[in-house]
Amino acid sequence: MKLADLKGKTVGVCVSGGLDSKTICCVLQDAGVKVKAFSANVGQPDEKDINDIKKKMAPTGVDTTIVDVTKEMADICFETVKCQAMYDGGYWNSTGIARAVTVQALLPVMKKAGCTVLVHGATGRGNDQMRFERYTNVLDPKFGVYAPWRDSDLLKLFPGRTEMVAFLAKRGITAFVGTKKKYSTDANLAGLSHEAEDLESMETSMRIVKPTMGVWPEKAPNKVEKVTLSFVKGRCVAVNGKKMSPLEVMLEMNKVGGRNGIGMKHALENRIIGTKSRGVYEAPGMEVLSWGLKYIYEGIMDRRSTLLFQQLSKLVSDQIYDGRWFDPATQAARAAIQVWADKATADVTLGLYKGNIFFESLKGLKATIYNEADSSMEASNGLNPHSSQGFAEIQSVEAKMLAKSGQIVAK
């Protein structure tokens, strides 16, 4: 879809209040397009007042509607933790999680406002362009999508930020390029992703990032902070004995994990479009919750369950990254994971210390398959050691035949 195709139509622009958002809205209006702006409150910790976006967009003459999806964000965070769905490098794909929630929430509001096309400002080199487009396609196939920064005409007009500033200045809208940032940031309740600019060089330390949700480990307290998480069917329902909603849990654990330097990750990830991207991520709450649930899962899963769970977990992670949260494969994998989650009810206590998470205790796990007597090295009423003799002899038959047949090569 090109700019000329939008003339006379009503479009909904996803805005952040920045230079790109203002430029896109003005360009669309100049082209005879009726523009309405929308933004989702996804619990951005770097946004002091979400309503500031309205004030920033006001000079363009476009009204901005803000939709609160913080509860939905908390829910998808819980579901992602339940699946232990971390992407390349073992990090929480907070941006990918938020796009599913954002598009699902904004589309109905845009349609109610008379919009027929969703406009996003994602770059033509990244992942978000694919996520915005795919989620729009699967949730409403008849709804159009326009990507300004894939439109060759706009790319010629605005090869950089300087041209955008000059364009807006002619309309009496003040905007500044400012000093070059060391990196760009995308934030929501799940966490923050930092990339681009100075981080594009592999010779630059990840530590140029200034954490927003917490601190680097060396600046964390010099003592272990214990926290008890109560899980019911794979979802945390209380912290230190206090019952909380998913949103309250996320806010509390972001605070607790953040101050202890938890959840700072680095990844040289594989993008949807086939290129590599370097990112620094912070997700303290997701990290703490996931370790709590991990220890519970370890108590209820046998070897084959663990293997299958790991495969399903990776599938869900890849689906989130690729913008496929609502796909049948994702839903099927989540349904399978729920079989184990249904048994994941227990209280787990963790020790947090300078970026580390220690196991302290696990109580009330009725579905555990761990038996102290069976695994004890001391005399107990558990597994009879003599019983292992027959198993060892059966194993030896195959081992000896492989050796005799010449199939074993020891180097």
Report the candidate in 356, 78, 46, 411 with the shortest Cα–Cα distance to residue 224: 356
Contacts of 170 (CB under 8 A, 6+ apart): none
What tokens does 165 get?
Answer: 């500033």
| pLDDT of 176 over the 80 cut | no
CB atoms near residue 243 (< 10 Å): 10
User: Residue 323: what pLDDT?
Assistant: 97
Identify the pLDDT of residue 180. Answer: 64
With cut-offs at 50, 70 and 90, classify the pLDDT of residue 178.
low
pLDDT classification of 254: cutoffs 50, 70, 90: very high
> Which pTM value belongs to this model?
0.93
What is the spatial distance between Cα 14 and Cα 103, in angstroms, rounded to a whole number? 9
Question: How many other C-beta atoms can be found within 10 angstroms of the C-beta atom of residue 276?
Answer: 10
Q: At what angle do helices 94-112 and 128-139 cross, to 10 degrees?
A: 40
- Burial letters 54-74, b for 16+ CB under 10 A, else e: bebbebbebebbbbebbebbb
Q: Which residue is listed with tokens 């787990």?
A: 348
pLDDT, tens digit, for every residue of 53-100? 999 999 999 999 999 999 999 999 999 999 999 998 799 999 999 999
Residue 66 β-bridge partners: 39
Report how far residue 102's alpha carbon sits from residue 275's, in angstroms, rounded to the nearest whole number: 25
**Which residues fall within 8 angstroms of residue 23, CB to CB, at 6 or more apart?**
158, 164, 167, 168
Gap between the Cα atoms of 36 and 11, Å rounded:
6
User: Is residue 310 a contact partner of residue 202, using CB atoms and an 8 Å limit?
Assistant: no
Q: Are 351 and 357 in contact (CB under 8 A)?
A: yes
What residue has token string 């040289």? 268
- Judging by DSSP bridges, how do beta strands 264-270 and 235-239 pair with one another? unpaired
CA dist., res. 185 & res. 195, Å (int) = 7
User: Which of 249, 396, 320 lies closest to 83, judged by CA?
Assistant: 320
Write out pLDDT tens, residues 117-147. 999 999 888 899 999 999 999 999 999 999 9
Local confidence band at 388 (pLDDT 50, 70, 90 cut-offs): confident
pLDDT higher than 70, residue 247: yes
Burial of 378 (C-beta count, 10 Å sphere; 0-12/13-18/19+) = exposed
